[in-house]
Amino acid sequence: MPVKVMRIEDAPVKIMRWDRGKTLRLVDEEDGAKNVDVHINLINVDSGPGPTHYHAKAENIYIVLEGTVEATVEGKKVRLGPGEMAFIPPGVRHAAGNGGDTVARVIEIYAPAGQDFHIVDDEEKK
């Protein structure tokens, strides 16, 4: 696997699910990474919280660089600002979105890399 070196502003851009903002892809499976996925999310002010979901195997870390993130973790609301972070272990239900009035810039790390996004069905809650 080749070494990857680039400037963050040159990172490939991907539109987030449900058009909630943009993701700057830093390292992921497309680069050959199997153990980690690192990206920066630029979450729109009007993004909403996104769907409640969990990762069966992946550990998930949010590091807030700018703005405010409002997350709901196992039903409890948490607000994160610049310089704050959250670690979400596998299997923990959560949702996150912009909780402020400016774009939220958040480093997000998944380990291991790969598709591991399981939306919690509303029927499951009943």
Residues 6 or more apart in contact with residue 9 via CB below 8 angstroms: none
pTM: 0.91
- Asked if residue 124 has pLDDT above 60, the reply is no
How high is the mean pLDDT of the chain?
A: 93
Domain ranges of the chain: 11-116
pLDDT digits 0-9 by tens, 44-74: 998 888 899 999 999 999 999 999 999 999 9
User: Does domain 11-116 correspond to CATH entry 3.40.50.2300?
Assistant: no
What pLDDT was estimated at residue 122? 57
